[in-house]
Structure 1
Amino acid sequence: MDTRTTRPTPSDREVDWNKNKVLLSKTDTKGTILYANEDFIDVSGYDEFELIGQPHNIIRHPDMPKVIFKFLWDSIKASKNIHVIIKNMSKTGRYYWVITDFKIIADSNGEIVGYFGTRKSVPEDIVVKFIEPLYKKLLHIEEASGMSASEEYLVGFLEERKKTYMEYIDHLIATGKDDKNKVSKGLFSGLFEKKDNPKK
């Protein structure tokens, strides 16, 4: 299969993977994959040569609403390290959910030269109860009325809970509940061991 021109057909089956693994990748400022660790490669189903030099959206699942990636890129282009829950698609078409922590890679002058992504599995109950229904609704809004409409919905959804997207994710991970209680900040960051931004 020519991965440069052909996308796999999505499957309703999940990738069978060791969810203790940490999936790592490095991209340039345009999202082109420069490096992926062995676990990232194994779970994606691609060979290393099929990934390196390709846009990161080679593993994007069509179930993902575009507004989540808009939020992602708006944040990292503003020099903000963020974390996002993402549904990815392997070469076989199977899916896998991950919590991804994106960190900025800067040169000695402070200029952004790339991004480093650290991924871990998402608790299944969090996905089924909260994330999947939200993302499906955002996707349906996008299909009917465009991304601006889905962005407005997401803003209203988060305003109702008095949280940012990242605070909302932190709260789900910490409590397993979707309510308006104050988020316990910092709990999500403990899922990731790596703290220093890699340098070019």
Structure 2
Amino acid sequence: MEIIPLTGVEREFNENELIVSKTDLTGKLTYGNRLFFNLAGMNEEECLGKQHNIVRHPDMPRCVFDLLWRTLQAGEELFAYVVNRSSNGDHYWVFAHVTPSTDMNGTVNGYHSNRRSPNRTILNESIIPLYKRLLRVEKDDPSPRSGLEKSKAMIADLLAERKQGFNEFMFSLEG
């Protein structure tokens, strides 16, 4: 896979628009709406059947995705700010709501994500500084596994200090 350099250019979308994507249980894309494909800079053929992490940005802390997957596998929803990478190296921020999808019997058969344009004040004053600290902990450790564990501990400590779960924390930033 070709590594595209980051451009530093942010793609933004209207606050009334909604990005939608769906995956199977392994994270392979099964659906994306037009806005998803436009921001990702790819078409359906380039995305469907591929892992959703094809839009993962290297500045996104791994501990947030670890939390996402643990939450989903517990059958729960997660709200999180996420920075994604477009195919040309641009990036775009979202406020994501990710939840398990179920069949008629209530069996989880995939995951569904709706993403909105983020609150810029929260992003700039809270999320970006937090994610930079988490990412620094992950990257400064010579062991990727140890770095991940340390960043997970940082989030756990922050949430314990605030006496909040992650979703509560995300919404508490609204003020």
Bin for the TM-score computed over the shorter chain: over 0.9
**TM-score calculated relative to the size of structure 1:** 0.81
Q: How does 1:3-82 map to 2 (within 5 A)?
A: 5-82=1-78
Query: In the aligned structure 2, how far is the partner of 1:108 from the partner of 1:13?
Result: 43
Greater CA drift, 29-38 or 139-148: 139-148
CA separation in 2, counterparts of 1:7 and 1:68?
Answer: 22
| Percent of residue pairs bearing the same amino acid type | 34
Q: Relative to 1, partners in 2 of residues 1:10 and 1:50: Cα closer, same or farther, differing over 3 Å?
A: same
Taking structure 2 as the reference length, the TM-score comes to 0.92
Alignment of 1:150 with 2:151, yes or no, is: yes
Q: How do 1:44-193 residues align onto structure 2 when only pairs under 5 Å count?
A: 44-145=40-141, 146-173=147-174, 175=175
Report the Cα offset of residue 110 of structure 1: 2.4
Q: Which amino acid aligns with 1:149?
A: K
> How many Å separate the matches in 1 of 2:164 and 2:13?
32
Higher relative contact order (CA 8 A, sep 6+): 2
Deviation at 1:167, TM superposition (A): 0.6
Structure 1 gap segments, 5+ residues each: 176-200
Question: CA–CA distance in 2 between the matches of 1:135 and 1:120?
Answer: 19
Q: Deviations over 1:174-200 (max 9, x none)?
A: x1xxxxxxxxxxxxxxxxxxxxxxxxx
Query: Pairwise CA RMSD of aligned residues?
Result: 1.2
Q: Does the C-alpha gap of structure 1 residues 31 and 160 become closer, same or farther in structure 2, counting only changes over 3 Å? A: same
CA distance in 1, matches of 2:12, 2:69: 29
- What is the deviation of 1:7? 3.3
Aligned partners of 1:65 and 1:108: how far apart in 2? 35
Structure 1 residue 166: Cα displacement: 0.9
What amino acid maps onto 1:111 in structure 2? T
Secondary structure at the aligned position of 2:45 is classed as helix
The amino acid of 2:51's aligned partner reads P
Q: CA deviation at 1:71?
A: 0.3
Aligned to 2:59, what secondary structure does the other structure show? coil
Q: Is the 8 A contact 2:13 2:117 kept in 1?
A: no
CA distance in 2, matches of 1:41, 1:128: 25
**Structure 1 residue aligned with 2:144:** none
CA apart distance, 1:56: 0.4
Partner Cα separation in structure 2 for residue 108 and residue 8 of structure 1: 41
What SS class does the counterpart of residue 71 from structure 2 fall into?
Answer: helix
